[in-house]
Amino acid sequence: MADSLVIVESPAKAKTINKYLGKNFEVKSSLGHIKDLPKNKLGIDLEKDFTPQYTVIKGKNKIVDDLKKSASGKKSVYLAPDPDREGEAIAWHIAGELASKKVKIYRVTFNEITKSAIQDAFKSPGQIDTNKVNAQQARRILDRLVGYQISPLLWGKLATGLSAGRVQSVALKMICDREDEILNFKQEEYWSIIAELQTADKTGFHAKLVKENDKNIKIANKDCADEILSYLKTCRYIVSEIKKQDKKKRPSAPFITSTLQQEASRHFSFTASKTMMIAQTLYEGIELGKEGSTGLITYMRTDSTRIADSAVKDARDFIESEFSKKYLPPKPQIYTTKKSAQDAHEAIRPTFAHITPDSIKQYLSSDQFKLYSLIWKRFVASQMESAVISQTSVDITAGKYLFRVTGSIIKFDGFMKLYMEKEDKEKTAGDSDEGEEPNLPDLKKNDVLNLIKLDPKQHFTQPPPRYTEATLIKELELNGIGRPSTYAAIMERIQDKDYTKKIKGKFHPTELGKILTLTLKESFSKIMNEKFTASMETDLDEIEKGTKNWLDIIKQFYSEFSTDLENAQKNMKSKSLTTDIRCDLCGKIMVVKWGKKGGFLACSGYPDCKKTLNYEKTEDGRIVPAKEIQPQFTEDKCANCGKPMILRKGRFGEFLACSGYPECKTTKPVKSKETFKEQTDILCPQEGCGGNLVKRKGRKGRIFYGCSRYPKCKFIANSLENMGDVSKK
């Protein structure tokens, strides 16, 4: 019989760890958090130093009882949830439940699930990090204070079911601010001129007009362009200067959470949530044939680019054997971690460089293979030699004007042989590759060139682009908002609550998102301020370091927040979004309002006029009445008159109505139907099930995760964050 109990948060992780520990250890899973603040009330005693009132999560009592039973009679209990704040909180709550048992409780942490890492961790177990627990507890309390006290105000003024989040509301504000920039953008015309030139031996190339009298040129309109063209047609074109230089291009640092989410978005259009779900499976362990369950990557929630010396050596040995010595720099590549980083864990990397993606492809799903390949290539490339790019810039004078052409040649591919980072930049009409030539002819100073033709082009300045998940995460990180464990949740929440919609991969705020943001900015300007939110993140980091007291931070925050809350209770006004649409009954302006099923147009003359309409948006963002839709007949028959029922859509969603209207006014609700389903690579935690978790949306729009083998397996989780909030129905 085992004399030690190990508790982790995930069944997959338990399976991988179990094979490294031997018969003396029994490994159990808590399925994420076992305790949290209650759902039906604030759960924080404001009169007693903000004491949190934790309760066992619904559906977790059986798990807690099972853990207590397993701990009974054991000499030691090792708590081994993930090595971050959430993991520390899970360990702390479990320790609290087992405290009455006569057993020694230890905390073990590891950055990768490999034999050496696990065995080393158990050789020198430690204790629960109280500072980490306090940092997690402070975040949880802050989020609860904001969410549970602002949301009821919004229900009364805007719409039932709205919620405000301390960090998600700021992310939404950034999306709305960007939308305002786009709508208020004033487009300006400008022109470019490209010269097609030819050398004496008839080799052609193109150059771009860049200067007039040694000053950067700006051609405002066609008249200006025509005037310049008339002058240029009379000029001699002479090579005035040639600059050649070799530049070294260094590889990108290995992934941290935010950069992994960004690159997975750019390469594969993965959402941040999907990236983290797949990464979790790679971290916790994949069945590799005879090798059994093997952890393939290090912990995926990190903001540090630091790499263990042993991993650097592993990568360098692999590079030398697979790519030759010329691809191996004399010294390891070292990357600087930003000052604000917690630096608690290494960068995200493969546990072993020799486990190449192709060597294990047969054991991975398509998405797992894509993500593992990305992580593996980025890490190995980060330790390869820099690439060498030969750049040539040629200036060509034409009277008072100067044309320029540039060319680049890769002299040594270095790390580029394996991996190149993608960019977010969107090219617009004026942001093209004009003036760049991949194959420049052999030019010499004072060469006289033949003008073949001049090509004028009209352009217009472009507004800033809307955020994608990749660019929004990048912006949040630059502003110090959120942390590695929160980015994916932020992306999901602002969409699940219908505050934003993604169109062609870009965030568009909904009318509800806009009006919510406006309301929150008016009543809670500090919470909606990016710098203030970033300062709160820094305070949480300081709590984790032990340099600040969590209660002091909460008290300081609440002293100001409670004043704003009191003012909002008195002064927050009901809002609606005004349109330019007139009510066809009374002539008054129609406004956008919200009900349980979303937005609709209502007459501003309510309650005297109760006219309502559905609406849709044009491509340029204008709200217009929804087009009349041809009746969609169904197979259902009216219970009263027997005529076919028609599928209609009203302010509360879809419903069935008798086609005999207005003589027969029978209606009935549409049977609930699944509207959304997305497969994940996470195995169902139910023992012996073998299914995968599937992301679903219920009839009320609630996102949850259920087993793919439903109804045979009825496992349900409301979140995949540390597999918390798990229940069975």
**Rg, Å, the chain Cα set:** 31
Q: What is the bridge-based pairing of β-strands 506-509 and 500-503?
A: antiparallel
Q: Which helix (H) or strand (E) holds 511?
A: helix 511-523
Q: Which amino acid is at 659?
A: S
Which of these is catalytic: 54, 237, 299, 615?
Answer: 299
> Which has the closest alpha carbon to 529: 253, 177, 18, 141?
177
DSSP states along 184-207: T----EEEEEEEEEE-TT--EEEE
CA atoms within 13 A on the CB side of 691: 19
Read off the amino acid at residue 583.
C
Please state, in angstroms and rounded to a whole number, the distance separating the CA atoms of residues 236 and 388. 35
> For residue 264, what are its two tokens?
């997975």
Per-residue exposure over 16-31, b if at least 16 CB sit within 10 Å of its own CB, e if not = bbbebbeeebbbbbbb
Give the residue from 44, 6, 406 showing the smallest Cα distance to 244.
406
Question: Distance between CA 691 and CA 711 in Å, rounded?
Answer: 11
For residues 509 and 273, is the Cβ–Cβ distance under 8 A?
no
Which residue in the block uniquely carries the two structure tokens 């405000």?
164
Give yes or no: 299 in active site: yes
Name 315's Cβ contacts closer than 8 Å, sequence gap at least 6: 353, 379, 380, 382, 383
Q: What are phi and psi of 655, to 5 degrees?
A: -155, 165
Distance from the Cα of residue 354 to its chain's centroid: 30
Residues 6+ apart with CB under 8 A from 518: 176, 575
Q: Which has the closest alpha carbon to 467: 484, 450, 490, 445?
A: 490
Closest CA to 76 of 6, 1, 13, 9: 6
Cα–Cα dist 585/603, whole Å? 9
Q: Where are the beta strands (DSSP E) in 68-111?
A: 76-79, 104-107
Q: List strand residue ranges (DSSP E) for 399-472, in order.
A: 401-412, 448-460
- 347, 334 contact by CB (below 8 A): no
Chain length of the chain: 729
Angle at 266 between CA 261 and CA 272, to 5 degrees: 30
- Other CB atoms within 10 Å distance of the CB of residue 470: 23
Cα 536 from Cα 542, distance rounded (Å): 10
Joined together, the tokens standing for residue 179 give: 């939308």
Report, as residue numbers or ranges, the catalytic residues: 299
